[in-house]
């Protein structure tokens, strides 16, 4: 007969361990980049939830983990509003409380590490959906850019990397149990799989079809809080001025001739259709450049009190092509339940008009100075954490650009976290990505997610990069979402098996329930 663990530690005694595990999770992300800490974080939560005696205690361990993780990782939100930081931290920590419950439910199921890893995948999948379109910002899969697991990005995407990180973490936790040989063997198997994938280097980065010189402008902004772009039109005038400096260097032969230029998201903070000084600033810059400019702007509809964040292909014919941002930041670009919440929380007025998402992928057929044409893929800021949005643009594009406006988070870790997520997308697609921001971090990311160039924040800067033209589709671009659904479904199966096992025990069924070899107590 299987003997129970005598007197499980109290939830209060285990909570500090869970909290430390949550801090380890934060350390795994940029800018700290202690990627092995991700394994320790998972192992810590797996260990505490396996030693709780009740479901409620396991939920508490998950919540302690989530509070420590989210409170330190999302601290940049205090630049906007303390209330929004508090609400976001509490909301996201509930996902980890649910994860604690799932891990507790599967504690007696065979192959517990496998189901535990799948439970992590299920939890992260849930963050892509709820609340309000999801907030999949702090995914474990974003921590392994510089580890051997990075080989899996172009194969099956970041969600599969989350699963592998969680699997290794659960196997490490299982080593503390009574029979460690099987988890050791499983860890060795995972190591062989990772090594084999890393050695093969598949899929290989295909040779580029050609290359194109792309100019970029980081205009610089005052930074800090909601009004980080500065006084009205400041950012548009800065964009124009930095474009002039760039083109002066081009004419002097200090920079190569660009085929087109890229400005960041919100490089004009006012609608150029309605504001004459903003229109003049853009038109002057385009004339000075003598080629098309990808402008980031705002389209406002005063009559409906709505707006769109847009990327505009602007040439001597004006704004010829428009892409409207599709994934919007809740409580940053739009207010859920606006009619109810705005009167109750007047501070939310900083959001301004309600943003409306665009309907189509960000891909432009742009005309080059020599009369040739090029498909340019565009992703705007927050959209980089939604892989399908990025993939849909890339499937039609030859070069990829991310426009971003991070002035309100200048000097915080948010900028590093977003740059890392963009690196992951580049690694998944085996494509270069040019990141252009209002005040940092702009830079060029290579096809394996490596940083080719990175410009500091809080400065004005500009330059020209030669970007290879690529159209190849990696396995991740086709398989990442199905793999995520599969691993998320496995997590649900693990919970179901755990519930069935518990029901058999409660109803007096056979006591010889199949339990994992790892973590099985000695039998008397």
Q: Where are the domains of the chain?
A: 11-203+477-506, 212-447
Instruction: Look up residue 382 and give its two tokens.
Output: 């927050």
Mean predicted confidence (pLDDT) in 511-523: 39
**pLDDT classification of 513: cutoffs 50, 70, 90:** very low
Q: What count of other Cβ atoms lies within 10 Å of the Cβ of residue 253?
A: 8
* Model pLDDT for residues 472-491, shown as the tens digit of each residue: 999 999 999 999 999 999 88
pLDDT digits (tens, 9 = 90+) for 446-456: 999 999 999 98
Sign, CA torsion 447/452/458/463: negative
What does the pLDDT average to over 56-68? 96
Higher pLDDT, 335 or 384: 384
* Per-chain mean pLDDT for the chain: 89
Mean pLDDT for 363-390 is 94
Nearest to residue 136, comparing CAs of 116, 121, 114? Answer: 121
pLDDT band at 320 (very low <50, low <70, confident <90, very high): confident
Give the count of beta carbons closer than 10 Å to the beta carbon of residue 17: 18
φ, ψ dihedrals at 99, nearest 5°: -65, -40
Fold of the 212-447 domain: Nitrilase/N-carbamoyl-D-aminoacid amidohydrolase (3.60.110)
Label residue 347 by pLDDT band (50, 70, 90): confident
Range from 174-183, 315-324, 461-470, 501-510 carrying the lowest mean pLDDT: 501-510
315: closest CA among 276, 342, 288?
288
> Tens of pLDDT along 112-154?
889 999 999 999 999 999 888 899 999 999 999 999 999 999 9
pLDDT confidence of residue 518: 39
pLDDT-based confidence at residue 411 (cuts at 50, 70, 90): confident
Look at residue 258 in the predicted model and tell me its pLDDT. Answer: 97
Q: How high is the pLDDT of residue 92?
A: 96
Q: Does the pLDDT value for residue 409 go beyond 50?
A: yes
- Is pLDDT larger for residue 1 or for residue 129? 129
CA-based nearest residue to 368, from 299, 467, 446? 467
Label residue 511 by pLDDT band (50, 70, 90).
very low
* pLDDT for position 341: 87
In this prediction, residue 344 carries a pLDDT of 86
φ and ψ of 258, to 5 deg: -85, 150
Which residues lie below 8 Å from residue 48, measured CB to CB, with a gap of 6+?
A: 14, 15, 17, 18, 21, 61, 65
CB atoms within 10 A of CB 1: 7
pLDDT given at position 219: 95
Question: Which residue has tokens 């998201």?
Answer: 265
Compute the average pLDDT of residues 359-372.
91
Query: Exposed, middle or buried, 148 (CB in 10 Å: 0-12/13-18/19+)?
Result: middle
What's residue 1's pLDDT? 39
Distances (CA, A) of 258 to 194, 253, 500: 41, 12, 63
d(CA 23, CA 282): 45
List, for residues 78-95, the tens digit of each pLDDT value.
988 898 899 999 999 999
- List the alpha helices (DSSP H) in 175-275: 181-200, 234-251
**Residue 315 φ/ψ, nearest 5 degrees:** -130, -160
227 has a pLDDT exceeding 50: yes
pLDDT of the residue at 112: 86
Q: For 430, left (φ over 0), alpha (ψ -120 to 50), or beta?
A: left
The whole-number pLDDT of residue 8 equals 66
Q: End-to-end alpha-carbon separation of the chain, Å? A: 6
pLDDT-based confidence at residue 516 (cuts at 50, 70, 90): very low
- Least confident range from 68-77, 112-121, 448-457, 508-517: namely 508-517
Q: Mind listing the pLDDT tens digit for each residue in 246-279?
A: 999 999 999 999 999 999 999 999 999 999 999 9
pLDDT of residue 6: 53
Q: What is the rounded distance in angstroms from the CA atom of residue 35 to the CA atom of residue 272?
A: 44
Q: What is the pLDDT of residue 31?
A: 95
**Looking at residue 331, what is its pLDDT?**
86
pLDDT greater than 70 at residue 25: yes
Spatial distance between the Cα atoms of 47 and 176, rounded to a whole number of angstroms: 8
Which of 166-175, 224-233, 393-402 is predicted least confidently? 224-233
- Find the mean pLDDT for residues 9-38: 93
Q: Which three-class secondary structure state does DSSP give residue 251?
A: helix
57, containing H or E segment: helix 55-73
Structure token pair of residue 224: 């800090």
Count of H-run helices and E-run strands, the chain: 14, 13
The model's pTM = 0.91
């Amino acid at each position: 007969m299987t003997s129970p663990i005598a007197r499980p530690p109290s939830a209060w005694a285990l909570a500090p361990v869970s909290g430390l595990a949550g801090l380890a999770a934060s350390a795994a992300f940029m800018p700290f980049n202690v990627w092995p800490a991700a394994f320790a974080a998972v192992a810590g939560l797996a260990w505490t939830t396996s030693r709780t005696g009740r479901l409620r205690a396991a939920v508490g361990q998950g919540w302690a983990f989530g509070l420590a993780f989210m409170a330190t990782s999302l601290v940049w939100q205090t630049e906007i509003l303390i209330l929004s930081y508090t609400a976001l931290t509490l909301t996201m920590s509930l996902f980890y409380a649910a994860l604690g419950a799932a891990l507790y439910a599967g504690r007696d199921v065979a192959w517990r590490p496998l189901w535990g890893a799948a439970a992590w995948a299920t939890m992260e999948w849930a963050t892509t959906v709820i609340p309000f379109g999801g907030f999949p910002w702090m995914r474990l899969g974003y921590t392994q850019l510089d580890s051997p697991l990075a080989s899996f990005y172009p194969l099956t995407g970041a969600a599969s990397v989350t699963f592998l990180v969680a699997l290794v973490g659960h196997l490490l936790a299982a080593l503390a149990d009574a029979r460690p040989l099987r988890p050791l063997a499983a860890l060795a198997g995972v190591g062989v799989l990772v090594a084999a994938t890393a050695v093969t280097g598949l899929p290989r980065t295909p040779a580029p079809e050609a290359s194109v010189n792309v100019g970029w402008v980081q205009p610089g902004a005052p930074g800090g809080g909601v009004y980080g772009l500065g006084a009205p039109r400041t950012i548009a005038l800065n964009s124009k001025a930095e474009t002039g400096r760039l083109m002066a260097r081009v004419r002097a032969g200090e920079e190569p001739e660009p085929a087109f230029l890229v400005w960041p998201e919100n490089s004009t903070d006012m609608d150029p259709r309605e504001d004459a000084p903003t229109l003049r600033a853009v038109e002057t810059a385009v004339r000075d450049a003598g080629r098309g400019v990808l402008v980031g702007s705002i389209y406002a509809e005063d009559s409906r009190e709505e707006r769109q964040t847009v990327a505009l292909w602007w040439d001597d014919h004006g704004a010829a092509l428009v892409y409207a941002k599709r994934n919007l930041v809740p409580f940053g670009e739009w207010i859920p339940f606006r009619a109810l919440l705005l009167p109750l929380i007047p501070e939310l007025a900083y959001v301004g008009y309600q943003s409306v998402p665009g309907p189509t992928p960000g891909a432009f057929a742009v005309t080059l100075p020599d009369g040739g044409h090029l498909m340019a893929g565009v992703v705007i800021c927050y959209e980089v954490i939604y892989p399908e949005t990025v993939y849909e643009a890339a499937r039609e594009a030859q070069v990829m650009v991310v426009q971003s406006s991070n002035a309100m988070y200048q000097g915080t870790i948010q900028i590093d976290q977003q740059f890392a997520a963009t690196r992951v997308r580049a690694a998944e697609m085996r494509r270069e990505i040019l990141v252009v921001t209002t005040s940092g971090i702009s830079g060029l990311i290579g096809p394996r997610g490596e940083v080719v160039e990175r410009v500091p924040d809080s400065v004005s800067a500009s330059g020209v990069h030669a970007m290879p033209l690529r159209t190849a589709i990696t396995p991740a671009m086709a398989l990442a979402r199905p793999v995520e659904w599969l691993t998320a479904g496995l997590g649900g199966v693990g919970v179901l098996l755990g519930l069935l096992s518990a029901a058999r025990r409660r109803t007096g069924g056979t006591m010889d329930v199949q339990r994992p070899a790892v973590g099985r107590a000695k039998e008397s």
